[in-house]
Amino acid sequence: MVQAPQRTAFNGPTLIRLLARLADVDVTESRQPLSDRLSQWLHWTDAIALSTALNGNPPAVAPGAQALGSAEETECARVRSTLVNAIVSGSAPAAAKRHGSAQTASHGASLDAAVDYPAFRQMYLSMQQTMETGIGNLRSRLRAKLAARTPGMSRLAEVDAVMERALGPRERSLLATVPALLGAHFERLRKTERETLADAQASEDAPTIAPGAWLNVFRKDMQSVLLAELDLRFQPVEGLLAALRTR
């Protein structure tokens, strides 16, 4: 018996593993050292700015700088909770929700025809912009707190600012490909259901799925992808918080 090839375990970010599963592709970890990859992503101007931040004299810190208080922790939790709630409550366009609640199984075909991907794509892009703005503002505020602590932490804040400017465009470019991957997943789910229902009708068997079930599956998948992207975008914030917690 021929054995199907086993996929190599991939321990990368949840977002990458989730997208690989939805796209049904095998993803392998890069063997290239992180330093080599960073050298390809950073322009020479970024390298100069990073070198200056690492080797220059950090700004003087005002005496009596306060340590991390509950306000910063609370603010980070508030921003994250707000974004999670926005993702959960907005994982499907309003029109699609109305169709989904109003249509019965006997009207599955009309529901299928009424729903298309552009509305979902626009929702995803809007949530990406909301995350970028909210997390970016939070990150700037945490850097300001960090810069007021010690000279070493002030240098760390400068390095984070340089890395955000340098890697921000690449991050946006890579994350901009996610809606297209979800669009392909959307079409695969719809096509699979259509074929399943057509086969059941041709054989005069009762369908094993309710018409329109694919759309609920897609909504849940898109929500999972958005939450995974939120986790990825929040990593620099978690790093700054960890630095602020040190004494």
30-34, 108-112, 120-124: range with highest mean pLDDT: 120-124
Which residue matches tokens 């946006």?
A: 172
Q: Is the pLDDT of residue 205 over 90?
A: no
pLDDT band at 225 (very low <50, low <70, confident <90, very high): very high
pLDDT value of residue 44: 67
Greater pLDDT, 5 or 55:
55
Mean pLDDT computed over 99-121: 62
pLDDT, tens only, 42-99: 776 777 777 777 777 666 555 555 555 678 889 999 999 999 999 999 765 444 444 4
Give the pLDDT score at 1: 38
Q: Of the segments 17-21, 54-58, 211-215, which one has the largest average pLDDT value?
A: 17-21
- Summarised one tens digit per residue, pLDDT across range 180-199 is 999 999 999 999 888 888 87
Residue 90: per-residue pLDDT: 78
Domain boundaries of the chain, sorted by first residue: 45-50+68-245
Q: What is the pLDDT of residue 200?
A: 75
